[in-house]
Structure 1
Amino acid sequence: MKDYFRLLSFAKPIEKFAIPYVIATLLYILFNTLNLALLAPLLDTLFSHKTAAISVGAVAPDASKPVEPADWWDIMAKFRETTNYLLGTYGKPTTLKFVCLTIVASVFLSNIFRYFSGRIMEDLRVHTLLNLRKTVFNNVMNLHLGYFNSQRKGDIISKVSSDVQVVQFTVTNTLQVIFKEPVTLIVYVVLLFSISAKLTFFSLLIIPLSGLIIAKIVKRLRQQATQAHETFANMLGYLDEALSGIKIIKAFNATEYVKDRFQKENVTYSNITRKMVRRQQLASPVSEFLGVMMVAGIVYFGGLLVLSGESSLTSAKFITYIAIFSQVMRPAKALSDAFSSIHTGLAAGKRVLDLIDVKPEITDKPNATELKSFQTAISFKNVTFAYGDRTILNNVTVEIPKGKTVALVGPSGGGKSTMMDLLPRFIEPQQGSISIDGVDIQDFKVESLRGHMGFVNQESILFNDTIYNNIAFAKPEATFDEVVAAARIANAHDFILNTENGYDTPIGDRGIRLSGGQRQRLCIARAVLGNPPLMLLDEATSALDTESEKLVQDALYKLMENRTSLIIAHRLSTIQNADFIIVLDKSVIVEQGSHAELMEKNGLYRRLVDMQTFDE
């Protein structure tokens, strides 16, 4: 129940919804019960063979006159007195009209309050979903990059979307059932006891048996629900991978393999859900069958009491009793259904709460300050970083002066990308420090630190939006002229004008409607618009044709003007004009200097140039 109350906390401020819901529900129960209570005086008065004791000249009943003890079972004793008066004064047609209008009014009010009760609960449901999904998504966005390297994207998507939806319905529906159905059940049972205590004791004997049987049926639901959520997450992961890599899948004729892999998970998920549904659906027929058995037993036992004439139970009371008891099964059945479905919700809730409980490993210090400006240099001092037992950087020390273009080169796995990722604190070193103008970057607020950096990656990361919004992503408040100016610097303005709607042209999922060179130039335009003093360029010209590379390279030169730039490149044309080159191999810096200096050393850099192998 601890998880349930944690999930319920997302409904706060719950009193905003709970108070009006309780009032509306109580009024609904009152008038709904009144509808059934009206049956007894209706049947007893209109279809009694006895003559009404009130003559035509009789006066209205005295409200101050106490009700006879024999009539305490009847909530509508006063109503029956009124019908007797009307029957004796105006006859059966008028009395029938009065009774029918009373029933219609009661039903109308009952449904009005039922509507308001449902409406308030729906507002609570939406409110809970809004808070829960916001909390989950915000926490996911705050997590460090390392978390996503060890998690399946489909599992995260499943928790944020379907699991949250399941939790929302379970929590609010259970909350509704916990209050409404027990209160309704209690009111009905009180009425039944007031009519015939002996008959009610007999009917309640079977309820504990019913509860034990239903509990046995739903015992394994939570375990199965957990398996179902995990399998569904795997399916989402396979779907995401298939859509992202559709070209590779078709290129390698792997369509059947991918379909088979998805189908295996699909079959597993279907089998689990089938078993769950069977158990859930079994609870309802079992409870209904037990209810019919109880009704049959009550008809038999109560009928004997009426026929014997030894009990105060009359025919009218007995019919009313059966009508009320038939309604007892509805809240009892709702409680059993809620008991079975809450296991599914708690299983999904546990997965959602686990995601919420994940804390980002990279956070601001309590006394972190804003990075106001970049004045002198960036320093790496004895920096060591490792993934588990594998060391990526080992005791690296280097200084990057302001305004210089520094290239990172070396064989694959040398630590180039890791060194670049350390600077914006995507990851943290295990040892050593990185400082800007002599201040450790961990003393700055992360957002402030990254605000001084621009990023252009090997993969052109764009969003399914317009060209304008993709460029303005770095500076949402930018004017149209600023966006155009950034596009001109990135050599993107001309091709943008040739698109269907210019800057308002949608580019599709991940920019699929654009060529590789066009996507990369939009990324450069986005970086230019942010106007950061420090640029981080990771393989920005890789996988481009010669013409596109020339346009992108020219855009990069414009981008790097009057800025400090840290670049990773695999082509000599990209790095040979760098002010400073750092050569990384086997986790350490083996050489550093200008292109000319490194060529003279005839070391690793010279060999890489000769082989033209700067691949990451």
Structure 2
Amino acid sequence: MKDFIKILRRFVPPYKRQLIISIISNLLHAIFSGVQMLFMIPILEVLFDTANEITSLMPWEFSKDVLQNNLYYYVTAVKHEYGVVVVMPFIGLLMLLTTFLKVGFAYFASHQMVGIRNNVVKDIRTQIFAKLMALPLAFYSEEKKGDVIARATGDVTEVENSIMSSIDMMFKNPIIILVSVGFMLAMSYQLTIFVFIMLPIAGWIIGKTGKSLKHKSRKSQNLMGSILGVIEESVGGLRIIKAFNAENRMAKRFEKEAEDYRLIMNKVRRRYVLAHPMSEFLGTIVIVVLVWFGAYLITGDNPTLTGAIFLAYIGIFYQIINPAKQFSTGFFNIQKGLAAMERIDKILLADNKILEQDGAIRVNSFEKCIEYKNVTFGYNEKKVLKNVSMTIEKGKMVALVGQSGSGKTTFVDLLPRFHDIQEGSILVDGKDIRDIKVHDLRGLMGNVNQEAILFNDTFYNNIAFGVGNATPEEVENAAKVANAHEFIMATEDGYQSKVGDRGGKLSGGQRQRISIARAILKNPDILILDEATSALDTESEKLVQEALENLMSSRTSIVIAHRLSTVRNADVICVFNEGEIVEQGTHDELIKNGGTYSKLHELQVR
């Protein structure tokens, strides 16, 4: 329960007004539930002809003796005036009134709780998505996408169905139990003490039964993450699966994951469905023993109860049984939900190392140069960049070449702070990038990557992505500069045509040109190109290269390239090897030196 309370403290405070209203309504609901049962006593006494004859009113005050005396006074007066037949509807009307108030307050309390529950679930979903957007790229390299999706969807649904569905019960049932116990103590403290002895024993048995449910639920949710991971990988790699006739292999892999999930869910659900029968059986045991003890108090040598009061007492006690049984079911629910919340917290509480310092500097433009000073960076223990230093002047085109894994992509990823450097510093116009607001820093840059990432939206929205106030004319001009306007207009709905999932309706060259149009519209001061033409055929490459030249005109550009022919005109070419810059210069200078670049060039022109 400690973990459950922590979750409530994290997410419920914004809705404390609704919570207070709900608690007050539940309190009134519980009071009128007890009063309703008390009105049964005069009915039973009238029926059994054991009603007390009260002939005088006491001054009104809020006490048991005064309320009981004056109620019996009116019952006696109506009985003598009109007879027993009229007394019953008189008391019945009082019961109807208390029942109306009881159910009315119960509805109002639940009405408030529905809002709290749905608001909290929305807040959790919103916080998860915001955190997913804020986390650095390194987080996703260590996590399976299917498992991340499972936490953001299935686990939130589990929290909604388990923990949030139990909020109403956790705030309503204790109030009902406490108020009912108050009525029971007033009616017979001996019976109530007896109940206090019996119920904790039943609660202990239920707690022992549900102890392992949290562990099994966590395991089942991990397996669901694995299932979603297999689905995500299979759909994403369907072309390769079919090309290698691996459908059966993937089907067997999925079947194994599904079978493991089935086995653990059998254990979880069987333990869960045990809650109701067990609480029903234990509750019946308590009732049987309670009736036996009540009979003793009524028929003993010194009776302390009447039959009418005992029956009303049983009625109030039954109002405790259902909340107590719901506690057992809710306990099982909460254990399942806590396991899901632990997995969600792996996202919500994940360490975001890309932090913005207090008093971070605002920047609106790039004026002079970018400086890498003795930059070192590594993933885990492996150093990818080793003491790299370099200056990039404004308006210059700098090309990065070298073998795969030599550190080129990491070099450019450090500039927009996709990762944070571990040693050294990177300066933009003399300001350390860690001292600049992240939003402003990234606002200076535009990216065109090897894999053009498009969204399942229209051409227009993909080009205008990240530029909130773009006009149709600006979007169209950007597409023309990127050599994309013609094939966009050839589609049925032009700029309002959908590009498909990840741009699946387009060729590789078309996707890349849309990506370039997006960068053109942003009009960044600094442009980063990561092997933007390496995956294209010759004709597409020519169109994309022309679009890139239009984009790079009079702009500071950092270009990663495998095809050396695309960077011959670069102002500076940097050759990377095992995390170090081993050569720098123009194309002609590096060819003349006869070093690593010259050897790479010879290999490509043969």
Identity of aligned residues (%): 42
Q: How does 1:399-410 map to 2 (within 5 A)?
A: 399-410=391-402
Aligned residue among 533, 536, 539 for 1:541: 533
Does the 8 Å contact 2:163/2:333 carry over to 1? Answer: no
Q: How does 1:206-605 map to 2 (within 5 A)?
A: 206-303=198-295, 305-306=297-298, 311-605=303-597
**Structure 1 residues 379, 183: closer, same or farther in 2, change over 3 A?**
closer
Does the 8 Å contact 1:37/1:76 carry over to 2? Answer: no
Which residue is equivalent to 2:34? 33
Does the 8 Å contact 2:221/2:340 carry over to 1? Answer: yes
Task: Write the distance in 1 (CA, Å) between the matches of 2:268 and 2:369.
Answer: 62
Task: Write the distance in 2 (CA, Å) between the matches of 1:489 and 1:199.
Answer: 88
- Secondary structure of 2:225's counterpart equals helix
Q: Given the alignment of the two structures, is residue 62 of structure 1 paired with residue 63 of structure 2, yes or no?
A: no
1:516-555 deviation line (CA, Å, top 9, x unaligned): 2221111111101110111101111122223322221211
Q: Given the alignment of the two structures, is residue 610 of structure 1 paired with residue 605 of structure 2, yes or no?
A: no
**How far is 1:170 from its partner?**
4.8
- Secondary structure of 1:566's counterpart equals strand
Which amino acid in 2 is paired with 1:415? Answer: G
**Structure 1 residues 166, 598: closer, same or farther in 2, change over 3 A?**
same
**How far is 1:116 from its partner?**
0.9
Which residue is equivalent to 1:19? 20
Which amino acid in 1 is paired with 2:107? Answer: Y
Does the 8 Å contact 2:4/2:334 carry over to 1? Answer: no
Does the 8 Å contact 2:34/2:183 carry over to 1? Answer: no
**How far is 1:457 from its partner?**
0.5
**How far is 1:12 from its partner?**
1.6
Does the 8 Å contact 2:57/2:70 carry over to 1? Answer: no
**Structure 1 residues 316, 238: closer, same or farther in 2, change over 3 A?**
same
**Structure 1 residues 76, 476: closer, same or farther in 2, change over 3 A?**
farther
Which amino acid in 1 is paired with 2:34? Answer: T
Question: Is the deviation greater in 404-413 or in 274-283?
Answer: 274-283
Q: Given the alignment of the two structures, is residue 141 of structure 1 paired with residue 133 of structure 2, yes or no?
A: yes
Task: Write the distance in 2 (CA, Å) between the matches of 1:396 and 1:204.
Answer: 73
- Secondary structure of 1:434's counterpart equals strand
Question: Is the deviation greater in 335-344 or in 476-485?
Answer: 335-344
Task: Write the distance in 1 (CA, Å) between the matches of 2:241 and 2:76.
Answer: 84
**Structure 1 residues 84, 511: closer, same or farther in 2, change over 3 A?**
farther
- Secondary structure of 2:464's counterpart equals helix
Q: TM (normalized to structure 1)?
A: 0.90
Task: Write the distance in 2 (CA, Å) between the matches of 1:191 and 1:430.
Answer: 67
Does the 8 Å contact 1:534/1:564 carry over to 2? Answer: yes
Task: Write the distance in 1 (CA, Å) between the matches of 2:270 and 2:219.
Answer: 16
Which residue is equivalent to 2:45? 44
**Structure 1 residues 588, 187: closer, same or farther in 2, change over 3 A?**
closer
1:417-465 deviation line (CA, Å, top 9, x unaligned): 1212122222233333322333333332222111111100011111122
Which amino acid in 2 is paired with 1:509? Answer: D
Does the 8 Å contact 2:29/2:105 carry over to 1? Answer: yes
- Secondary structure of 2:465's counterpart equals helix
Which residue is equivalent to 1:127? 119
- Secondary structure of 1:35's counterpart equals helix
Question: Is the deviation greater in 590-599 or in 415-424?
Answer: 590-599
**Structure 1 residues 534, 305: closer, same or farther in 2, change over 3 A?**
closer
Question: Is the deviation greater in 577-586 or in 90-99?
Answer: 90-99
**How far is 1:500 from its partner?**
2.5
1:198-233 deviation line (CA, Å, top 9, x unaligned): 444444432232122112111212222322232222
Which amino acid in 2 is paired with 1:62? Answer: L
**Structure 1 residues 35, 417: closer, same or farther in 2, change over 3 A?**
same
Does the 8 Å contact 1:381/1:398 carry over to 2? Answer: yes
Question: Is the deviation greater in 555-564 or in 178-187?
Answer: 178-187
Does the 8 Å contact 2:117/2:167 carry over to 1? Answer: no
Which amino acid in 2 is paired with 1:32? Answer: S
Q: How does 1:177-216 map to 2 (within 5 A)?
A: 177-216=169-208
Q: Which runs of no fewer than 5 residues in structure 1 stay unpaired?
A: 55-59
**Structure 1 residues 233, 78: closer, same or farther in 2, change over 3 A?**
farther
1:262-316 deviation line (CA, Å, top 9, x unaligned): 3322222332232222223223222211211222233344345545685253332
